[in-house]
Chain A
Amino acid sequence: MSRAPLVLKVALLAGLGAFLVAPDAFAPLFRPFAPGDSPPIYAQTPLLRLAVNHIVLVAAATLAAGLLAVGFAIAATRPAGRDLLPFARAVANLGQTFPPVAVLALAVPVVGFGTVPTLIALVLYGLLPIFETALTGLGGLDPALLEAARGMGLTGRQRLVQVELPLALPMILSGIRVSAVIGLATATLGSTVAASTLGEVIVSGLLTGNTAYVLQGGLTVAAMAILVDAGFLALQRKATRRAGFRS
């Protein structure tokens, strides 16, 4: 899908936008999936508000996971930070091996219901992909390049900002992309602990046996994931070209 022509992506974006702004216009489409007289379109909370909450939550979690993971990766690739590497790896791996539902279950008694436990689960879950790619990007640079930078008199910070990070950026972006897409899907689980996300529509559909709701929630999340993936891929290609690699 990510290589599908731009037209398809624009059409998908337009369709998603139209659905979120005026969901009732799509009622005939979902009518066949709603049992009996039950409404075909979820109306307890406006879908647009749920979608915005969903995106904002995932964006915040991905941003936090990105900052943490890139920070860890930078620290682990400095000469003084080599000892930190196994620890950082362990933390990132732990986040990934823990099922998000388990994180939610453990977090609720501590921080209560709502957005916060979901955010914690998303951040933990998003760490590993970004950390691993940032580590590959920063650790895989040509030693001759860094040697030349040092030999020319760039300080450690200048080497990091002017050379290492720009060259590792395509890899880091690919990690953020994976993390954001996983996060979009995982965030639906947040509704089980009363976070306001599109999961609310799916859960409500499952509880009332209304397949139309499940489809609305699921398809909206899927469309957003596809678009976010495509957006990051485009960014990643641009960064790759800017890094002087032939993509």
Chain B
Amino acid sequence: MIDLAHVSRSFGARTVVDDVSLRVEAGAILTVVGTSGSGKTTLLRMINRLVEPSAGTVRIAGRDVRSVPPHLLRQGIGYAIQGHGLFPHRTVAENVGVVPRLLGWDRRRIAARVDELLGLFRLDPALYRDRLPAALSGGEQQRIGVARALAAEPPILLMDEPFGALDPIIRGRAREDLLAIQRRFGTTIVLVTHDMDEALRLGDRVAVMDAGRLVQEASPAALIGAPASAFVGALLGGGDRAFQLMSLRVVDDLVEPGAAPGTPIPAGTSVRAALAESLWSRRAALPVSRDGVILGRVTRAALEAQGAGP
């Protein structure tokens, strides 16, 4: 879907992005993680031409982005940033409807789309449609910001630290919302973050940037299993790799026939959470259920094995 080929960007003598090649498959989430100044935001902004590459090409669906006028290109790509950038003088509905209006959608179609998106983000349209951004909480503003980016049903969504300003609990819910909506629309997402946990949790693939270079691009499990450099290892936090791996996996594949005592855990629980429950409740095996039906059990030994390195 998105192809970056040997893309570089310099500002004066400073090279901010240095010969990066990357490919994002349609419908996948790529998270780009790095310290501040690593060039990750510049990389993102070159996809919708907010920054022009000094060298290399960016292609979307096989087409060089330079063949499209910048404002038309951007109308076809969702863009959500930290601090949401909502227009303070426009209501929620007007904010969400900005790009559809630019595209010339008729009034009824825009209104229907606005209500649909507000519903998806668990905001009652009747209650929120006519509010100004100043009358919303930080979490609500952020959701409207993402809803606005998705309004014109763009095949691609670019996100720059979209959850950076949120408190941990709201951030967790916002991530779940994003994943649910991404599954629903099949949107291809590139998300920039400095938070490795967020990158691992959201990304189908994770790209690590350091000093303008792409250091590693891999699936979350492969990244944890084999960090390409000491820098990636440091970003991963070093000490608790086993637990990071466990939190990426769910118990479903580990279920074996048999009985176990106590309250069952639901299918879909992460290995990490299951192991914690096993330790806390002093049970060597836990029953696993789906929709109230016991599927079998997982043993602590099977859970522990998931934390082993390659």
Contacts and interface: CB of A to CB of B under 8 A. Distances in A.
A144 B88 CA distance: 12
Contacts of B89: 163, 166-167, 242-244
Contact of B88 (A150, A158, A162, A244): A244
Count class of interface residues, chain B: 20 to 34
Contacts of A151: 48, 50, 74, 79, 81, 85, 158
Nearest to B87: A163
Interface centre among B50, B74, B87, B132 (most CB of A within 10 A): B87
Interface string A205-247: 0000000000000000000000000000000000000111110
Interface string B46-84: 001010000000000000000000111111100101111
B164 to A, nearest CB: 12
Contact of B71 (A144, A153, A163): A153
Nearest to B76: A153
A148 B88 contact: no
B134 interface: yes
Contacts of A147: 50, 81, 85
Given A153-B72, A153-B102, A144 B85 contact: yes
B90 interface: yes
B50 A152 contact: no
Contacts of A167: 88-89
A167 B134 CA distance: 14
Contacts of A155: 71
Given A151-B74, A153-B75, 15 more contacts: A142-B83, A142-B85, A145-B86, A147-B50, A147-B85, A148-B81, A148-B86, A151-B81, A152-B79, A155-B71, A158-B102, A162-B87, A166-B89, A167-B88, A246-B134
29 contacts: A142-B85, A144-B85, A147-B81, A147-B85, A148-B81, A148-B84, A148-B145, A149-B87, A150-B50, A151-B48, A151-B50, A151-B79, A151-B81, A152-B75, A152-B79, A152-B98, A152-B99, A153-B70, A153-B72, A153-B73, A153-B75, A153-B76, A153-B102, A154-B71, A154-B98, A154-B102, A163-B87, A167-B88, A243-B88
6 closest cross-chain pairs (CB), A and B: A148-B85, A244-B88, A153-B75, A153-B74, A151-B79, A243-B89
Interface of A: 142, 144-145, 147-155, 158, 162-163, 166-167, 242-246
